[in-house]
Every structure is written in C-alpha cells, then in structure tokens.
Structure 1
Amino acid sequence: MSHIRPVTGLNPLTFAIRQAFGLTAVSAFCILAPAALAQTSSEEGDAAELDTVTVQAEALSVVTEGTESYRTPLTSTATRLDLTPRETPQSVSTVTRAQMDDFQLDTINDVLESTPGVTVERLETDRTYYTARGFEISNFQVDGLRVPMPYNNVHGDMDTAIYDRIEVVRGATGLMSGSGNPAATVNFIRKRPTFEPQASISATLGSWDQRRLDVDVSGPLDSEGRVRGRLVASGLDTDSYLDRLHRERGLLYGVIEADLTDSTLLTLGHTWQDNNTDSNMWGALPLYDTAGNPTDYDRSTSPAPDWSYWDVETRRSFIELQQRLGDNWSLKGTVTHLDMLSDSQLLYIGTVPDASTGRIPSSSLWISKYDRHLEQWVVDLHAKGDIEAFGRNHQLVLGTDWSQSRNQQSSLYDASSQDLPPLDEWDGDYPDPSFGDPDFVNDATIKERSVYGAAKLDLADRWTGVAGTRVSWYDAYGEQYGASQATESNGVVTPYAGLIYDVTENASLYASYTEIFSPQTETDRSGQYLDPIDGKAQEVGIKADMFNGGADASFAVFRTEQDNVAQPDGTLPDGTFVYTGGDGITSEGFEATLAGEIATGWQASVGYTYLEVEDADGNDANTYIPRNMVRASTSYRPAAMDQLQVGARLRWQDDIEQARTSAGGKNHQDAYALVDLMASYDFSDSLTGSLNINNVTDEKYLTSLKWDQSFYGAPRHFMANLTWKY
C-alpha cells in the first residue's frame, strides 16, 4: 500500500485537488462547475420554472444549509419514512449545517461531541469510538443507506465539509441498520446540487499554525437547469498542541444530478479524502506507574516517535436512480462503493512506567507496520408512497438491501532496541524500525442481505402508529489475527413498533419497542454457533412543538438491554473453549432535549442525559461512560444589529472511572465542563468574518478512560475565519 504524501510547497487545497484528479469519475465536474456561475438571469428563471419536475428526494428534500436553523422538520433515519420529530417514536437529534459553521465543527468527532447523549472516546489521535446509552455505536448511514463498520471505530478524521446535516437516532435501530449494537445510528446527509448558482470560499487560521481552505460551488450546468452539479474541495495543514503531531487532510466531493425525464432523477457522486498524520499515537499515555500512582503529564506529552505515521485514504462512489410513480409513490435504487486504504507505522507502550525512574523497558514496546484495505459494496432498492385504507391516508415503505465488506489487514513487527526515557522528557527520538513478514492471515468478508418494510398508520384522529420489520441473512468467513470469523445467521427478524398520541395540537405522548441483532463467532458444546446477541430498546416520552413551532422539545425514559451474550462454559476434552448465551449489559435512564429557534434570532440545541449501566449481576458496567451529560449550543443575532452573531457551546459530564488491568485501583477523571465561544460579523451580504475560542477556561482533562491509556484534550485555542459567498 502506498504512503501518500503531499508535494512540497503546495497549499492544502491545491494538494487536495491535485491528489483527487484521476481518482474520481466526476473529476470533469471541476471543469464544468464554473459554468454554474455564468448563468444569466433569464436562465435562472428557466431553472426556477423546472421546480415542478423535481423528484422528491426523501429526507434529502429537507435542506438545513442556508437556514441558520438548529433543527430539521423531517427525518427518515429511524424508519426511512418521512416523519417529523414528533412522529418519530425515538429520540432524535440533528446537528445542522448552521451549527457546524457557527462552531467550526470540521470533523465528525466535533459534531458528535455536540450531540446529546453521545460520547466521543478519543482513545488515540487517529482512532475513535463512540457510545450512546451505555453501548458502542456500531451503526452508520450515509444518506440513509447503511454503512457497515467492522470495528465500531473511525480511522482518521472524517471531514464535515460535504454534509448538510448529521442525524442521530438513539436506541436500537435494527429496522434500517441490520446488525449492530442497541446504541444509536448516525446518519450523514450529504450536500446536493442547487437549482440556483451559488459559491463560497472560506479560509481559516488557528492555533498551532492551523491553515484550512474550503471551496463550494453549485448550480445548473445547462441552460434549462435539468443538469445540476456541485463541487466541494477542502484542505487542511496543521500542527498540534501534542508534541511532534502534524496533520494534512485533503477532501474532494463532486456530485451531478440529471432530470432524465420529468419523473426520473439520476445522481452520480464521488468523495475522496486523504488523511496524512505524522507522529501520531498508537495507544496513548500510561495512566499510572508500577506502584499504582497516577501519572500527570503535561498536556503536550506524546508517546509517539518522530518516525510514526498513520495515513488513511478513502474513496466513496455512489449512483442513485429515482423514479416517481404517479403522484404518491417513488422507486429508488442506490449502489455505493467504498475503498479505504490505511497505511501506518506505529509504536505502542505495553506496560506502565517504573515508579522510581519513569522509564519504560524495551521488552514492553511494540513496533508495528499496519496496513489495511477495506472494500465495501452496498445496494438498496425501495419503494415509498401513500396508500388509502379504512378511510385514512397511510405512508408505506418496502425495500431490500445487500452489502459485502472485505477487510484485509497486514501487521508486521520489529523488536524494540532500547528503553524509553520518562515520557515527559522524551523528544521522540528512537531507532528506525525494520520489519519482517506478516505474522497472521488477515482476510475476512461479511455479507448481509435483508428485506424490510415500515408503515406510518393513521389509526384515529389523535392516534398514529409506526410499525415495521426487517428480516436479515448474515454470513461471515475468513480469518483475522489467527481467529476464524466464520459465522452465519439466517432469517433474523428485527421488529419495530411505535405508538403516538396527540395530547394537543402541539404535544404528543409516544412509546416504542425496537430491536437489533449482533452475530457471534463463539460456539456451544455441540459445536453450533451461538444465536446472535439480541439488543432490545424500550422508550416512552413526550414531544412538543414549542415557541410557535420554531423548536422541538422532548423528554424520554428508556431501557436498553442485550440478551444471549456469549458467556464462558468451560472447555472440551481437546481444550476448545465453549460458550453459552446469557444476559448482557442493561442501561436505563432519561434525557431531555430542545432544538430550534426559541426567540427571534436565538437558536439553541440543548440536551441532558442521565444514565445507569449494569451487567447481568447488577454491578456497574462501562463506568468510563459518564452517567450525567449536558450538550448545549446556542447563538443569537440581535435585531438591532443583525450583522452580528454571538454564541456559546457547552459540553459537561460528571466524573468517570475505570478499573485498572494491573496494579489495582481505578483510573479516575473528575467532572469537567468545556466552554467554547464564537462571534461573527457580516461585513456585507457576501463577506463574513468569525472568531471561535474553544476551551476558554483552559480545562485539563483526559479524552477517555475506556483503556488503561489516554491523553489530554486540547487547551485553550482559537480559529479565525473569513468566508465569501455568492
């Protein structure tokens, strides 16, 4: 696998575009896109007249870009039905384009840190896990199409420049997600071409020599507006508060829509992103020494040598064909292909420092060259529309999907040659490694196919039902690190049921029951694979439209549990370990959210979560996840000076802890609050400047306690941005 690095002297955006040329089928759009800005006023009128032939793009028809809103009126992540937040019988949160722009949320980690009920476990600088309701989030979608994630984590930083909004549905989501954990589903909604010409250029400078440039061009590509395109390009080059860490990121997204007929819409798109990170962490800082004393390093301390790197290149292509069938029905087929190449050279500290000297012995150091190739195909075909029955109108969706994910990995190792000095004195200098042959066969494939259906049922004047089911077939084979991945599950049924009662015109009570399954590779005493883990979620609550319909409020009480989790059941005479199914983790709690415009010019998104997590014996489990969390973002544009906008973001959690794997005791992180401030000013209709200051109180905190290792979050830092829009 190649180790891609930028040509010296190129700025980040030039590097991004130059690297992407030749990789994407829509590169020609880079030449065609400027035509969108050359449309005459008469051509704009022609485009406007074509609005009546636009095929409804399901959830994509709700665009948050340009609205300054912190809410979205429709969502389809949970069921693929177009439902308002009140009609969705689960907890839903959306981070809109306005929130991303206001607070410079340039990566998925930034976005999910702003999402109620979600924690971002930054275990390393370039690998991240997410949790909700006590479980790891394993389910992701792009434009409503599920994206399998083999290891429940994200490699590198996923840039948000191409997204209109990001929706998160908490709880079990097996209806649309297939297999996974009963935590949440994260749905990334991409930007699409616009009927009117528009363009923007945005430049950002920040702490630690951060430089970022974004370009976004969109509009019609022909005189009639029947063909439309969009190009988004972004480049980043930055150092870090962490010693030696340096990042370069390039992004290019191109998409073309074409009205083949008045009722047929064809869409082609491709995204390319390249993350190049030098002196990144594999693992992180030890949290205690051999005597069990907590370590307390400077925030800049890093265990990464100067020769380490982790580069991730991602290419994602898709094609959609949507056909309107009469006035009330549509048929949509989507094919998407993902190619991800990961290339890294890393050092891992496998022990804790000596209590008297602070040194780490060479025998406890792992040096690895790790390469990975993940290839995925996902195909979905579904029909959606309205039906009349029993004198009432109902909404129905029927579909089928298929996916294949092949994960190939190569791990090479080198013996360490010398001890590490105390990490807070180390400058990253360590002998260059040399590597031999791979130690394991790492090639595994997962195939999953399913049929699904869901309906929104108008039961009575105040009663609405949402019901559905998915039937899945799952097959895995191959090996990873010497362990067989072979398992299969046939005809697994995951039901979905919800009931909504309108108490008033503006408030509704709801209850829901949802499931999800997770296949297992463990076998029982007869040699049969255990049945899949069964994730179940129950939720009751109230939702309301508030502030004259400008905001959505909700309060939910939930219970989530896993059944049939593999438990050790001894060994066979040949030494083979065997397992039996048993109860797993259970989480309970409640949450309250508010999102939208609460007064003229005042946007807010606020969420509070309380959580309890226990194992089958009633003991606290997953204690690295906070039990109390607040996520809040707000901005205000005063009527007397509407060129000015000010805002703040708060992320608070209570204290967390986790039992150590050695030396006894627990690792602990006190409760902390992170406060970010922003201000922007419109110098004209086209030019806006903004300033963001993050962690204004300069709080020192650990980014996660999921492992025995962690590192410290960023100290106070700033970003200054200048944006021009047409």
Structure 2
Amino acid sequence: MDTFKLRQLSLSIKQGFAVGTVALLPFTFPLANAADQSDLEQMETIVVTAQALKVETPAQETPKSVSIITEEELKTRAPQKLDEALRYTSGVTAQPYGSDNDTDWFKVRGFDAATYLDGNRLFRDGYYTWLLEPYGLQQVEVIKGPSAILFGEAPSGGVVNAVQKKPTYTPQGEVKVEVGNNNAQSIGFDISDEANESGSMRYRLVGLMKSADGELDHSESERFYLAPSLEIDISDRTMLTLMATYLKDDGTPTNGFFPAAGTLIDSDFGKIDPSTNLGEPGYDTYERTQISVGYLLEHDYNDTWSLSQNLNYGYNDLLLRSVYAFPNSDPTASELARGVVFRDGHNQSITMDNNAVASWFSDRSEHTALIGLDLQYHETEGEEQDSFAFSSINPWNPDYGNYTPLDPANNIDRKITKSQASIYSQYQIKFDSQWIGLVGARYDWVQTENKSIKGAQDESRDDGQLSLNAGAMYLAENGLSPYASYAQSFEVLSTIDPSTGKLYKPLEGDQVEVGVKYEPSFMNGYVNLAWFDITQKNALVTNPNTFVATQTGELTSSGIEVETVSQVTKSIKVSAAYTYTDAKTNDTGGQGKKQAGLIPEHAASAWVDYNASLAGIQGLNIGTGVRYIGESKDSPASSNLTVPSATLWDAAVTYDITSQWQAQLNVNNIFDEEYVSGCDYYCYYGQSRTVMLNANYRW
C-alpha cells in the first residue's frame, strides 16, 4: 500500500482513539470510534500518517518514547493554548510559569523542548517566540529526549511537533461559536472540500476570531487566525501539499511574575491576590503578527525509494513593552521595585528538509534506510531596551500611573542570525520478525552571529557537531516489546557570555532509555513504560556574587514514565499517565547538586471518556480528568523553598442535539483551586477555573 493510500485511509477516520501517529511514518495502533463503539467488538488496527520520525515503521517497533495528542482529544479537551494541550502527557511539565497569553511554556523530561510546525523549526530568540493556535491543529506529537538525528540543534528535552489541519478526502465543515468566563468569546470555521471535479485537488480553510481577559486584572487579548491548505495529486505517485497560516494578536501581556513573599511564604501584609497586575496596564502593550508559508512534496520513486521535500518560511513581528516587579522574600517589604522590558522587531526563518527513504526485503529481514539534507536559516532583528529602575508598586494596593516612560533614544539595536546545514542517515533492520536494530548519525554545520552597532558587539562562531543514535528492540509473541536506545542532542546559544565577551558554547546532551511497550491480547489498549537518564553539559551556572552566568554546569534528569490507554468497555475509555523525574542542577550558588527548580518529582493524570449511548442517552459523551502536580522546588540558586502539590479536576460534556448540531461544555480546574504552579526566582500562580461553552454546526 503506497503512502497516499495510507494517508487516505487515515484521513477518512474522523473519530478514533489512538496513541497516535509519528512522523512521515505510517504505523499501526488499536483504535475505537467513540461515536459508534457499540458496533465494535475490538478496536480496529489501522495505518495512520504523521510527521515526526521521518521513516515508515510500526509504533511497536520504535525504540523511543513518543506521545500523541490526537485531533479527537484536542476537540474534547478544547485547549486554548499549545501548553494546555500537553497537560495529560507523561514526561511533560505544562505551564510551569502559569497561564501566559503571549508564550507557551512546557518542559519535557526536565529540559526545554523545541517546537515545530509540520516538522519545521519554530525558532525562538528571547521574547521573540512563536504561538500556535490549537484550533488549527490536527494533532500534537511529543518526541521525548535528545533528537539531534532528526532535526539537528535543539534542546535536550526533545521535540513538540504540531501538525496543521490539512485537506480531507471526504468533504466536511464546521462552524462554531464559543463563550466563557473571563469575557471569552470566539467564532471559528473549518471547511474541507474538493477544489476540482476530479477530486485530485482538495482544500481546507480554518479560521478563528477570539478575545478574552487575561488571568491578571487589566489584561486582555484578541486574536485573528487563518490557515489555508491545498493538496494536489500531481500523479499517482506524487503529492504536493501547500500550507499557510496567519495569526494576529493584540492586547495587554499577562505578566505573572510574583514575589515569594505573599504567595509561597507568609507576608506581614497578607496574601497577594492571584489576579493582581504588578505591571503597568496603561503602558504595557503586546502586538504580534505571524505568517508561515510552505509546502510538502512527496514522491514514490519506485517500490523501494520514496522522496520528500519539506519547506517553510516563517515571519514573526513583535511589539512588547512589559513592566514587572522584582522578586522578594522579605515578609516585611511593602513596596517592590519594578523593571521594564521593551522589544520591537521581527524574526524570520526558512527551513528545507530533503530526505529519501528506501525499504527492501531479504530472506529473513526487512531493511529501512533514511538519508537527508537539512538546511535552516534564522534571523532576529529589532530594537530593545531593559530598564531595572522603572518605578515601584505595592502588591497589596497597586497604584498605577507613577512612572517615567522609556526614552527611545536609549534603545539598542540587535541582530542575531543562525545558519544550519546538515546531512543525516539512519539504518534500521528487522530480523526474523522479532529482532530490531537501529543506528544513525548526523553532522551539522552551524554559524551564529550576534551583532549590535550601538552596543558595540559583533560576535560570531562556527560549530560542527556529530550526533549519534542507536536502538534495539525485541518483539515477543505475548505483546511485550522491550527496548533500549541512546541518543544525543546539542543546542546552539545565540547570547553572549558577559565573562568572556564571546558567544556561549553549545549545550550538549545525551540520553540512555530503556523501556517496554506492551499490547496484551486480553485488553483493547496498551501500556508503555520507560526509564530515561539525560545529562546536559556546558550548562549555565550563575555566580552568586556577580550574577553572571558561565558554562561550568551540568544538568541531569532521570526518571520513569508510564502511559496506558484502555477501552475498558464499549462505553468507557480510560487513559492514565505517571511521571517520576529526578532533575538535578549544580546552578545552586555553590551548594553542590540539588533538585532543579520548577520540575516536580511526581506527576500523574487520568482521563475517563464515557459514551452514554448504551445507557439509552443517545449523543451524550462525558469526559473527566484529574491532574496531580507534585511538590517542586524553587531555583536552588535562589532559595530552598518548596512549592506544594496541587490536584486539579477537569471535565468535558458533549451532546449531539441533532446529527449536525452539537453543544460542548468544558470546565478546567472545577473547584477553582488557588495554587502556585512553580517558582524560579519568581513564583507563578497556576491557571484559575475556566468555563467554555460552545455550539457547533457540522456537515
């Protein structure tokens, strides 16, 4: 079955449950259609397509941890941001800095992770970050741990790859209207249809307009989003997919930097209200314009070779002026000094990945080879200013308007460029249908420059990096698939080391992972278990006397992850996850290695979906979930404070009024628990209760 037939099969399934899909990679998983479970005795095994691993291989034959948030899960849980979509994923710390309307925050296995859109890197330089609209996503893939073999330079945590909605072979459409607390309101549409009579061209158009107040007083945001795509069957063996997105945000930034005194520890003046805005609402501003344009060209050259080229251009324009209060742990302090950050500029990037995959068979083995050439260019340019003497504020009785605006004459120009050229190759063999071996290598050439004429800085460096990976797996007849793997990563820093006046060296990471994937015959579902150990070298360590960060540190993270999904009955599906993470750092102000800030040692979640059709209530689906966020620590270079654990309850209720009309209610943090999500010099309140009610018309 060729790639396009596999894709057609996957796109024809509108409702299903699966671990999901992994990169340019058709593989099998048991699925159950939640809308028609009574007709299924067992979850079907089908082939689906996605984009993160770049080769075709069954999921049970991948010696690496991968988690997928499917389109059905995105619809059910209705996240408003990408980081909200990751709340029920093992190994992921979602929203450690609380709810932020201008940045997605998450860490994977104790480290930062890179964000991709359809396999294309969304670069990040300081405040210049990309935001993704969940309504425009088909699924989200999390590749855990170092992944340099696939994408080159990236953080040690791994890869979060968002897959944009693309045309379907069956025409379909949706219009939705949504309202919620915090003055939330939105209207969206999602239309897919044939673009010509023969059906060889198909389009999809996704759009959304929404607005809402932020978590803090006097903060709000508005968004306009549009995402067109077009698929063209050039021939029976060649497909071209054109994709674009446009996102426009306008509002006041939600700046959730709170002091420890009054949040995590007692203050003489009581508790600081979580909605208190310590910024300057009349002065703070946030405007963002994002554009991405690209294509995916796929060609089956013959029965052995398939070729693909993935190209994307991204442009991100940002205007940010945001006032913040300084950290404080003194319970007697009633006034906090404030600073302000100003950024006015843009970044743009172009990425192009070319690869070829060969698959062939011999008497007792199956072979898969991947070779590729990857080219990337990224540029950030604009004006910036940071003032650490803006004004002061009383967190318990804020009085706004007492400040002196920034003088544009003090702005500093900044231009950062990064170029990457890479060649990579990976070979996999399956022997006697039971033994699997995998080995790969990649070499990256990276050139980085950080330049400021007014700041009298012009630093550049060239880096060459060899990255390796290897894995082995055994497929037992009883459904157990034990495996072991090794992978490397490196992350190029574009900032200048104040102690040397030169650009920092790349961060280097490696991971050992041992696990087992289990699909027992006695249940419709799976259980995945993994143990990992990651070490990152050249980590930044802050000198407590000079507050200058030097590359003398080492970060380590080891732990255990468990994920399971089971169709318990025809009406009930259960998914659960547990993560233990032992993250250590020696950025402790000379105290040796200690638990790293923000990362809880224990985290767990469970979600239950119930289809009430068998109980006689046609069209009613109820989902509910519990998230446990264990204790974490403040940054050990700042304090020894412990952040208490929190348990949160979420729910989703969907009712099909008719075959076309549907209503859905989502409530997150049902009891409106007030909690601190994490501390890292500052402390951050977790997101309060959100209530969203939407009506959908579908055809």
What TM-score range do you get, normalising by the shorter chain? 0.7 to 0.9
Deviations 1:9-41 (A, max 9, x none): xxxxxxxxxxxxxxxxxxxxxxxxxxxxxxxxx
Q: Is the 8 A contact 1:393 1:458 kept in 2?
A: yes
Q: How far apart, in 1, do the equivalents of 2:652 and 2:559 lie?
A: 32
Secondary structure of 1:704's match?
A: strand
Residue identity matched to 2:139? R
Deviations 1:35-82 (A, max 9, x none): xxxxxxxxxxxxxxxxx9973687x97459722424225554663122
Q: Is the 8 A contact 2:152 2:489 kept in 1?
A: yes
Structure 2 residue 583 is the aligned partner of structure 1 residue 613: yes
CA change 1:548–1:140 in 2 (3 A) is farther
Q: How far apart, in 1, do the equivalents of 2:402 and 2:424 lie?
A: 55
> More displaced, 140-149 or 296-305?
140-149
CA change 1:265–1:416 in 2 (3 A) is same
Match in the other structure for 1:130: 106
Structure 2 residue 319 is the aligned partner of structure 1 residue 343: yes
Structure 2 residue 605 is the aligned partner of structure 1 residue 635: no
Structure 2 residue 146 is the aligned partner of structure 1 residue 172: yes
Instruction: Give ranges in structure 1 of 5+ residues lacking alignment.
Output: 1-51, 570-574
Match of 1:493 among 453, 466, 477: 466
> More displaced, 677-686 or 638-647?
638-647
Match in the other structure for 2:565: 595
Structure 2 residue 345 is the aligned partner of structure 1 residue 392: no
Residue identity matched to 2:375? W
Match in the other structure for 1:676: 650
Structure 2 matches for 1:210-221, cutoff 5 A? Answer: 210-221=184-195
Match of 1:149 among 118, 121, 124: 124
Secondary structure of 1:110's match?
A: helix
Residue identity matched to 1:504? E
Match in the other structure for 2:134: 160
Match in the other structure for 2:19: 71
Structure 2 residue 507 is the aligned partner of structure 1 residue 558: no
CA change 1:355–1:484 in 2 (3 A) is farther
Q: Is the 8 A contact 1:79 1:454 kept in 2?
A: no
Alignment length, in residue pairs? 656
Deviations 1:314-356 (A, max 9, x none): 1011022222212343211122100001112221223549855
Q: Is the 8 A contact 1:328 1:385 kept in 2?
A: yes
Q: How far apart, in 2, do the equivalents of 1:409 and 1:64 lie?
A: 45
Q: How far apart, in 2, do the equivalents of 1:724 and 1:111 lie?
A: 23
> More displaced, 687-696 or 128-137?
128-137
Q: Is the 8 A contact 2:346 2:380 kept in 1?
A: yes
Q: Is the 8 A contact 2:676 2:683 kept in 1?
A: no
Match in the other structure for 1:703: 677
User: Displacement, 1:227?
Assistant: 0.8
CA change 1:229–1:503 in 2 (3 A) is same
Match in the other structure for 1:22: none
CA change 1:475–1:155 in 2 (3 A) is closer
> More displaced, 245-254 or 547-556?
547-556
Secondary structure of 1:447's match?
A: strand
Match in the other structure for 2:41: none
Secondary structure of 1:99's match?
A: helix
Q: How far apart, in 1, do the equivalents of 2:682 and 2:189 lie?
A: 41
Q: Is the 8 A contact 2:66 2:143 kept in 1?
A: yes
Q: Is the 8 A contact 1:214 1:233 kept in 2?
A: yes
Secondary structure of 2:84's match?
A: helix
Q: How far apart, in 1, do the equivalents of 2:357 and 2:264 lie?
A: 63
CA change 1:549–1:329 in 2 (3 A) is farther
Structure 2 residue 261 is the aligned partner of structure 1 residue 288: yes
Structure 2 residue 692 is the aligned partner of structure 1 residue 719: yes
Match in the other structure for 1:46: none
Residue identity matched to 1:232? V
Q: How far apart, in 1, do the equivalents of 2:13 and 2:139 lie?
A: 8
Residue identity matched to 2:676? L
With normalisation by structure 1, the TM-score equals: 0.83
Instruction: Give ranges in structure 2 of 5+ residues lacking alignment.
Output: 26-50
CA RMSD of aligned residues (A): 3.3
User: Displacement, 1:653?
Assistant: 1.4
Match in the other structure for 1:24: none
Instruction: Report the identity percentage.
Output: 21
CA change 1:647–1:408 in 2 (3 A) is same
Structure 2 matches for 1:11-410, cutoff 5 A? Answer: 55=4, 62-63=10-11, 66-72=14-20, 74-75=22-23, 76=25, 79-120=53-94, 121-122=96-97, 124-137=100-113, 139-151=114-126, 155=129, 157-278=131-252, 280-282=253-255, 284-288=257-261, 293-294=266-267, 296-307=271-282, 308-350=284-326, 352=328, 355-356=331-332, 358-360=334-336, 364-389=337-362, 391-410=364-383
Match of 2:398 among 414, 426, 431: 426
Secondary structure of 1:83's match?
A: coil
> More displaced, 466-475 or 287-296?
287-296
Residue identity matched to 1:315? I
Q: How far apart, in 1, do the equivalents of 2:360 and 2:498 lie?
A: 47
Q: How far apart, in 2, do the equivalents of 1:109 and 1:524 lie?
A: 32
Secondary structure of 1:700's match?
A: coil
CA change 1:649–1:526 in 2 (3 A) is closer
Q: How far apart, in 1, do the equivalents of 2:540 and 2:693 lie?
A: 51
Match in the other structure for 2:574: 604
Q: How far apart, in 2, do the equivalents of 1:233 and 1:526 lie?
A: 48
